[in-house]
């Protein structure tokens, strides 16, 4: 019961952040469509203030808080025991909430208009860096609590395979904890002392290397919880079984090993890093495509088993037999569908030479709204369609409204993201108040209104989503729905070799790969960087 | 057990293509990248961001002809301008851009010439593009660099051959 209140607290913070993210998204989209950026002073003081809020609220706050709430819930349920330390869990929540407030004060006050990547020497108020660091420390404490819970369960069940959902939740947090060491080092050794005036200079390149050490695997931190739902809950919601439990475990172990040593693929166009290291990271990026394909196969086969059990036939026609009337399932299946396009686009980004065409163009926000903005966000929305009613103890206010919202997101996103991808190929830069730019190209003008139209549809979808949840809390009457049960598997945990349930070999491999991929570059930069760039407030 | 075996076969049937597809794409990529001689920026040296105007070659920004048809453009980026912001070369030229920043992170993008490089304070960035067709090629700052980021740009003017 206590765990439920904890999850409710995290999810509430997450959804408030998402609300802010959706509103700022609308402003940016209509600015691209040629409308003047609305003068909203003093609340939102510029396009870039909006974009900083948008990035931080959506991908740092919404995702992190939702994931902490959701996976702690899943862990306890999958193991059938409560969290090892409820007091630690609540302390962690308040630490993270406190950090969030500390970071939000300068962010909202336009004293941290540095976008969610906060590249120095652009210099935000110190409270922004300290606040975000506290949030990261909070996530480490979540890992600690999950680990203690797992240990407690293991002591009583020495021979059993870890239940799949619990195993996946733990892998997600362990991977993230290792990955976050990069950003932690950037904060503790560079940004915090520098913003406090304890050291006078900084360095752009080293900061970027540390940032992207965390910044790439963070996308797996967002994605893996959606996979937890796709693997362990969605097959059951679709009326079927998970296809293969051992394959699911294998893919998560590969994500643990391969998520981190590939961050330099975000820095292909950075000067100061040898081409050879860039090539190695490109290689490993292609390797991480392997567990993604495994996931694709496993999840699609599971959906198919559900659809066939419901009378579905044919090679593709079975798809229509999925329980499309369930907004939770519809949201997640549509999220998967758009994610396949996101996956293909991701390969292009990761490609050595094609990256030169798309790097930092509008293609990138086109891509990331398919991945984190849909595969992750729409899946999380789908999860809340059962989670929020369950936590609130009453049914969802309207399934119809839920379905409308889900399809609007899908359709709006196709328009929005397609336009951004095309604009990127036409050489339009991202992170730019494009309507006011001095170099607006005639050929961009045909696609820009579609950014506004798609963005407006997304905004409407977002508002319907929040309306439905608010009405669920305020006006819905009736019995609470049950939580979806974890799916059984066609090839179950009994087929999973014991090695898939061990930690040491995989963790060792993870660290070795990180050392190879990052060690030499980090050592060289740490030894030779002069830290001679002063900070600047440029907004 | 029978069912277990079928699942096992299906598992194999997917593992193989899951390996083959990325490997195939990687090979295709390497062939096209290295076959076409595409190079990413590498280590080109450091420059003290507080002393850019005293450091060669950035003490004299502009274009120099290295050999017939081959030029080097030395460009300084700062909030919110490139110096110089206009460069003239004849059609058919190959231009290597050597860029650094005096303050925050900027970017340097020339659509249509395959020039796309980050401009970091402290680092010398180098990227080469070919300009065959006469016309105007805008170069844009494509990394957020402050409140007037969208006004930061310049152009390469490619003139019909002499
Ligand atoms: C109503 C829905 C949304 C709309 C209309 C919208 C619109 C936009 C637009 C127009 C941009 C591009 C700005 C630029 O490059 O100048 C942008 C950037 C971005 N959006 Fe969204 N967005 C929405 C929802 C989301 C969601 C749900 C997420 C993630 C959970 C998200 C994550 C991002 C990120 C990470 C960026 C890049 C920020 C940066 O470059 O610093 N967006 N959004
Ligand atoms: Cu700039």
Question: Whole-number mean pLDDT of chain B?
Answer: 87
B35 at A interface, C-beta within 8 A: no
* pLDDT value at residue A355: 83
- Cα separation, A326 vs A169, whole angstroms: 25
Q: Per-residue pLDDT tens for A307-333?
A: 998 888 888 889 998 999 999 999 999
* pLDDT greater than 80 at residue B36: no
Sorted by where each begins, the domain ranges of chain A are 2-528
For position A470, what pLDDT does the model report?
97
* Higher-scoring residue by pLDDT: A36, A115: A115
Beta strands B153-159 and B86-90: pairing type? parallel
CA of B25 to the centre of ligand 1 (A): 29
Q: For residues A346 and A316, is the Cβ–Cβ distance under 8 A?
A: no
pLDDT digit string, tens, across residues A111-160: 999 999 999 999 999 999 999 999 999 999 999 999 999 999 999 999 88
Q: Which atom of ligand 1 is nearest to the CA of A63?
A: 30
Per-residue pLDDT averaged across A366-391, rounded?
96
Q: What's the gap in Å between A369 CA and the centre of ligand 1?
A: 7
* Rounded Cα gap, residues B146 and A432, in angstroms: 10
Phi then psi for residue A405, to 5 deg, are -60, -45
Q: What is the pLDDT of residues A55-108, one digit of tens each?
A: 999 999 999 999 999 999 999 999 999 999 999 999 999 999 999 999 999 999
> Quick one: pLDDT at residue B9?
73
> How many whole angstroms separate alpha carbon A427 and alpha carbon B115?
11
- DSSP structural state of residue A437: -
Looking at the predicted structure, is the pLDDT value of residue A1 above 60? no
Mean pLDDT of A343-355: 77
For chain A, the C-alpha Rg in angstroms (whole number) is 23
- Closest to A470 measured CA to CA, from A403, A380, A397, A399: A397
pLDDT at position A35: 73
Give the pLDDT band of residue B133 (cuts 50, 70, 90): very high
Torsional sign, CA A374, A378, A383, A388 = positive
CA distance A485 to chain B (A): 23
d(CA A431, ligand 2 centre) in Å:
11
Q: Could you tell me which chain A residue has the CA closest to the CA of B34?
A: A353
User: Quick one: pLDDT at residue A345?
Assistant: 81
For residue B1, pLDDT beyond 60: no
The average pLDDT across A455-462 equals 98
Domain ranges of chain B: 1-39, 43-159
Q: Is A289 on the interface with B (CB under 8 A)?
A: yes
Find the CB nearest B116 among A113, A244, A356: A356
Average pLDDT over residues B139-157: 95
**Listed range (A145-149, A368-372, A496-500) with the worst mean pLDDT:** A496-500
Cβ A127 vs Cβ A105: under 8 Å:
yes
Contacts of B49 (CB under 8 A, 6+ apart): A121, A532, A533, B100, B101, B102, B103, B121, B122
Phi, psi dihedral angles at A325 (to 5 degrees): -75, -10
Mark yes or no for CB contact A538/B107 under 8 Å: no
Q: Scan residues 348-407 of A and list those with Cβ closer than 8 Å to B.
A: 351-353, 355-357, 359-361
Instruction: Report CB contact under 8 Å: B104, A490.
Output: no
Whether residue A275 and residue B116 make contact (CB cut-off 8 A), yes or no, is no
Please state, in angstroms and rounded to a whole number, the distance separating the CA atoms of residues A486 and A235: 9
- Asked if residues B131 and A523 have their Cβ atoms less than 8 Å apart, the reply is no
Q: Is residue A249's pLDDT more than 60?
A: yes
User: What is the best residue among A15, A18, A21 to mutate for testing ligand 1's pocket, by most ligand atoms within 8 Å of CB?
Assistant: A21
- Measured distance between the N- and C-terminal CA atoms of chain B, rounded to whole angstroms: 80
Over range A459-467, report the average pLDDT.
Answer: 98
**Chain A residues close to B121, C-beta within 8 Å:** 121, 204, 533
Q: Residue B120 C-alpha to ligand 2 middle, in angstroms?
A: 10
The two tokens of residue B154 are: 């310049």
Please give the full DSSP string across chain B, using - where no structure is assigned.
Answer: -HHHHHHHHHHHHHHHHHHHHHHHHHHHHHHHHHHTT--------B--GGGGGGSTTTTS-EEEEEETTEEEEEEEEETTEEES-EEEEETTEEEEEEEEESSS-EEEEETTTTEEEEE-BTB-EEEEEEE-S-EEEEEE--S--STTGGG-EEEEEEEPP-
Q: What's the average model confidence in pLDDT over A171-193?
A: 97
Chain B contact present for A283, CB below 8 A: yes
| pLDDT at residue number A38 | 66
pLDDT above 70 as % of chain A: 99
Q: Does B117 touch chain A (CB under 8 A)?
A: yes
What are the pLDDT digits (tens) for B12-31? 777 777 777 778 777 777 77
Q: Ligand 2 center to residue A169 CA distance, Å?
A: 41
Give which of A32, A211, A239 is closest to A122, Cα–Cα: A211
Q: Coil, strand, or helix at residue A429? A: strand
pLDDT of residue A181: 97
**Residues of chain A above pLDDT 90, percent:** 81
Summarize pLDDT for A217-230 with one digit per residue, the tens.
999 999 999 999 99
Is the Cβ of A267 closer than 8 Å to some Cβ of chain B?
Answer: yes
pLDDT: which is higher, A11 or A34: A11
> Nearest by CB to A272, which of B25, B107, B123?
B123
Are A432 and B142 within 8 A, CB to CB? yes
What percent of chain B is modeled with pLDDT above 70? Answer: 91
| Alpha carbon of residue A22 to chain centroid | 15
Q: Give residue A41's pLDDT band: very low, low, confident or very high (50, 70, 90).
A: low
Interface of A with B in 292-311 (CB under 8 A): 293-294, 297, 301
- The count of CB pairs under 8 A between chains A and B is 199
> How much is the pLDDT for B4?
53
Q: Flag whether residue A122 sits within 8 Å of chain B, measured between CB atoms.
A: yes
CB atoms within 10 A of CB A316: 8
C-beta of residue A353 within 8 angstroms of C-beta of residue B32:
yes
- Asked whether the beta carbons of A79 and A109 are under 8 A apart, the reply is no
Q: Per-residue pLDDT averaged across A32-37, rounded?
A: 79
ipTM: 0.91
Please tell me the residue having the least CA distance from ligand 1 atom 36.
A55
Q: What is the pLDDT of residue B2?
A: 42
Q: Hey, is the C-beta of B140 within 8 angstroms of any chain A C-beta?
A: yes
**Bigger pLDDT: B25 or A487?**
A487
**Assigned superfamily of A2-528:** Cytochrome c oxidase-like, subunit I domain (1.20.210.10)
Partners of A287 on chain B (C-beta within 8 Å) are 22
Q: How would residue A465 be classed by pLDDT, with cut points 50, 70 and 90?
A: very high
Exposed, middle or buried: residue B109 (CB in 10 Å: 0-12, 13-18, 19+)?
buried
Q: What is the 3-state secondary structure (H, E, C) of A105-120?
A: HHHHCCCCCCCCCCCC
User: Residue B118 phi/psi, 5° resolution?
Assistant: -85, 145
Instruction: Give the pLDDT of residue B162.
Output: 58
- The torsion defined by the Cα of A192, A198, A203 and A204, in degrees rounded to 10, comes to 40
Residues of A in contact with B41 (CB under 8 A): 269-271
Residues of B in contact with A422 (CB under 8 A): none
- Tell whether A531 lies on the interface with B, counting CB pairs under 8 A: no
Fold of B43-159: Immunoglobulin-like (2.60.40)
If pLDDT is split at 50, 70 and 90, which confidence band does A497 have? confident
């Amino acid at each position: 019961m206590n765990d439920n209140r904890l999850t409710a607290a995290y999810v509430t913070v997450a959804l408030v952040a998402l609300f802010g993210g959706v509103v700022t998204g609308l402003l940016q989209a209509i600015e691209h469509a040629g409308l003047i950026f609305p003068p909203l002073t003093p609340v939102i003081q510029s396009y870039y203030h909006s974009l900083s809020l948008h990035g931080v609220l959506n991908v740092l706050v919404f995702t992190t808080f939702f994931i902490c709430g959701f996976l702690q819930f899943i862990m306890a349920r999958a193991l059938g025991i409560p969290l090892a330390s409820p007091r630690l869990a609540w302390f962690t929540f308040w630490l993270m909430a406190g950090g969030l407030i500390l970071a939000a004060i300068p962010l909202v006050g336009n004293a941290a208009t540095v976008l969610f990547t906060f590249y120095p020497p652009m210099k935000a108020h110190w409270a922004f860096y300290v606040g975000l660091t506290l949030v990261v420390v909070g996530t480490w404490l979540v890992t600690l609590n999950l680990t203690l819970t797992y240990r407690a369960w293991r002591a009583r069940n020495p021979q059993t395979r870890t239940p799949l959902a619990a195993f996946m939740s733990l892998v997600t947090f362990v991977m993230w904890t290792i990955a976050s060491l990069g950003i932690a080092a950037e904060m503790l050794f560079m940004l915090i002392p520098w913003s406090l005036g304890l050291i006078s200079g900084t360095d752009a390149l080293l900061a970027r290397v540390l940032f992207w050490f965390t910044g790439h695997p963070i996308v797996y931190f967002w994605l893996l919880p959606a996979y937890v739902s796709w693997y362990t809950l969605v097959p059951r919601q679709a009326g079927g079984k998970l296809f293969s439990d051992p394959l699911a475990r294998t893919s998560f172990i590969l994500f643990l090993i391969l998520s981190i040593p590939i961050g330099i693929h975000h820095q292909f166009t950075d000067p100061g890093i040898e081409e050879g290291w860039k090539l190695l990271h490109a290689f490993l990026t292609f390797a991480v495509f392997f567990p993604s394909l495994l996931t694709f196969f496993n999840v699609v086969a599971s959906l198919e088993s559900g659809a066939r059990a419901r009378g579905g036939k044919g090679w593709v026609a079975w798809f229509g037999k999925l329980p499309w009337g369930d907004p939770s399932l519809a949201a997640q299946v549509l999220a998967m569908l758009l994610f396949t396009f996101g996956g293909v686009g991701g390969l292009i980004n990761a490609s050595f030479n094609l990256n030169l065409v798309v790097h930092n163009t509008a293609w990138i926000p086109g891509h990331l709204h398919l991945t984190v903005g849909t595969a992750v966000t729409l899946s999380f929305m789908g999860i809340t369609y059962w989670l929020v009613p369950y936590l609130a103890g009453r049914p969802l206010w309207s399934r119809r409204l839920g379905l409308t919202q889900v399809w609007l997101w899908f359709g709006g996103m196709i328009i929005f993201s397609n336009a951004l991808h095309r604009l990127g190929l036409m050489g339009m830069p991202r992170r730019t108040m494009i309507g006011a730019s001095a170099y607006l190209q005639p050929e961009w003008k045909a696609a820009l209104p579609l950014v506004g139209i798609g963005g407006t549809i997304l905004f409407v979808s977002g508002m319907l989503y929040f309306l439905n949840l608010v009405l669920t809390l305020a006006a819905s009457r009736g019995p609470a729905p049950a939580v979806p049960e974890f799916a059984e598997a066609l090839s179950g945990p009994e087929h999973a070799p014991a090695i898939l349930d061990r930690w040491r070999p995989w963790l060792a491999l993870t660290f070795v790969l990180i050392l190879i991929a990052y060690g030499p570059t980090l050592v060289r930069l740490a030894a030779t960087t002069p830290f001679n760039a002063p900070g600047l407030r440029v907004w | 057990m029978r069912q277990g075996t079928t699942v096992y076969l299906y598992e194999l049937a997917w593992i193989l293509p899951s390996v083959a597809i990325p490997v195939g794409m990687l090979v295709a990529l390497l062939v096209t990248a290295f076959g076409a001689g595409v190079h990413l920026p590498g280590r080109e040296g450091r420059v003290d961001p507080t002393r850019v105007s005293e450091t060669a070659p950035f003490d004299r920004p502009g274009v120099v002809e290295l050999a017939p048809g081959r030029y080097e453009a030395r460009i300084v980026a700062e909030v919110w301008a490139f110096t110089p912001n206009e460069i003239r070369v004849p059609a058919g030229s190959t231009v290597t851009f050597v860029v650094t920043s005096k303050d925050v992170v900027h970017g340097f993008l020339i659509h249509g010439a395959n020039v796309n490089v980050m401009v970091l304070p402290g680092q010398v960035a180098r990227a080469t593009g070919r300009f065959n067709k006469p016309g105007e090629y805008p170069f844009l700052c494509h990394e957020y660099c402050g409140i007037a980021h969208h006004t930061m740009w310049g152009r390469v003017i490619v003139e019909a051959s002499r």
